[in-house]
Amino acid sequence: METKLNSNEIPEIELLFELADLFKVFGDSTRLRIMVTISENEMSVLNIAETLNMEQSTISHQLRVLRQNKLVRVRREGKQIYYTLDDDHVKKIIEMGLDHVLE
């Protein structure tokens, strides 16, 4: 479902609070780096940490935040867990943000 903004119909305040909370999650550069890293391929925490040259514990903590906000999804294969973006909407938000800052 695609939503269009209409100045005559301001969304409910609760919905705007949810949107603000979503943008807060995007407001962290570490989380953005993780999302960009897993935007094309699913990866394990170890692979993400190695790619970003960061501690696994930091990656795990940020992935937990991203999962809680339904921005990444998980696939378990035996003991290994793989992460990827939840859907194309997440990727589009990042791409639109990059387009905006590059303008």
Predicted confidence pLDDT, tens digits, the chain (103 residues): 567 777 778 888 999 999 999 999 999 999 999 999 999 999 999 999 999 999 999 999 999 999 999 999 999 999 999 999 999 999 999 999 999 999 9
Instruction: Give how far Cα 21 sits from Cα of 25, 94, 99, Å.
Output: 7, 16, 22
CB 37 within 8 A of CB 90: no
Structure tokens at 72: 């990444």
**Any idea what DSSP says for residue 15?**
H
Which amino acid, one-letter code, is at 50? E
**What is this structure's pTM?**
0.89
- Which bin fits 21, alpha (ψ -120 to 50), beta or left (φ > 0)? alpha
Q: Tell me if 58 sits within 8 A of 30, measured CB to CB.
A: yes
